[in-house]
């Protein structure tokens, strides 16, 4: 949260914003403001792990829009060619900003595009928390055991507009309502009804809200970066 506030208490010392959070301590190598930009970085990390023999598996997340980018196919080609331990997780929410998947991809079943690079792939219901957890766990173990890449396509949906500047005129409101009925959090809570009580759920929600409030308080209390340090780590080409 401090990162979002531009405060030096953040993991990237206030320079990450919403798209460049980074923490080597947690092996989290950051988001990327460039569509598909994380894919080649993941290939490099996976290659380093293979050369060092660490046994680690690199997971890279991207959306359906990234599949239309050149670096997607470049990255999959190298991952397959070099037999790299990388799990590619595509969050297919059917709209790349405002473009419907059918208007963007000649092959809308995105996992099939991985087959062109001889990479195994599977489809999972991205609105089902349990299904995603099981598929991801099995995929990681598969990559770890075989040392070759795997592609996981999670079908999901974006309820809100892409950004505050998006008028969201490219889809029917009934479509959104239909997907909202499958909200993964609400669905999971209903499935857990036989295991946890309403009181348990309320406690979990309260604890989550408290954690967010503490993060906000920490961010607000963190100092801004000194003006004298603004040019640190800035390079001119």
Domain ranges of the chain: 1-31+196-237, 35-183
Q: What is the pLDDT of residues 71-119, one digit of tens each?
A: 999 999 999 999 999 999 999 999 998 999 999 999 999 999 999 999 9
Q: Backbone phi, then psi, for 192, in 5-degree steps? A: -90, 5
From CA 97, how far away is CA 234, in angstroms rounded?
31
Assigned fold of 35-183: Rossmann fold (3.40.50)
Neighbours of 22 (CB within 10 A): 17
pLDDT in tens, 117-143: 999 999 999 999 999 999 999 999 999
Average pLDDT value for the chain? 92
The pTM of the full predicted model, rounded to 2 decimals, is 0.87
Going by pLDDT thresholds of 50, 70 and 90, the confidence category of residue 65 is very high
What pLDDT, in 10s, does the model give residues 211-233? 999 999 998 999 988 888 888 88
User: Looking at residue 24, what is its pLDDT?
Assistant: 82
């Amino acid at each position: 949260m401090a990162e979002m506030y531009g405060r030096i208490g953040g993991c990237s010392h206030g320079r990450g914003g919403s798209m460049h959070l980074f923490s080597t301590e947690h092996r989290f190598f950051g988001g990327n403001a460039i569509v598909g930009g994380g894919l080649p970085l993941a290939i490099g990390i996976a290659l380093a792990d293979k050369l060092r023999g660490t046994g680690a598996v690199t997971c890279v997340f991207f959306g359906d829009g990234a599949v239309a980018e050149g670096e997607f196919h470049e990255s999959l080609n190298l991952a397959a060619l070099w037999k790299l331990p990388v799990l590619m997780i595509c969050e297919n929410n059917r709209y790349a900003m405002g473009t419907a998947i059918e208007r963007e991809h000649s092959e809308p079943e995105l996992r099939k595009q991985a087959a062109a690079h001889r990479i195994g792939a599977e489809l999972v219901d991205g609105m089902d928390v349990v299904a995603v957890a099981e598929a991801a766990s099995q995929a990681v173990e598969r990559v770890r055991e075989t040392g070759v890449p795997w592609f996981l396509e999670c079908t999901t949906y974006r309820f809100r507009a892409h950004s505050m500047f998006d008028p969201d005129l490219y889809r029917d409101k009934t479509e959104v309502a239909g997907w909202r009925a499958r909200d993964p959090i609400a669905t999971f809570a209903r499935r857990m009804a036989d295991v946890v009580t309403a009181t348990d759920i309320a406690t979990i929600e309260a604890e989550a809200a408290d954690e967010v409030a503490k993060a906000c308080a920490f961010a607000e209390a963190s100092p801004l970066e000194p003006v004298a340090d603004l040019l640190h780590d800035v390079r001119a080409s």
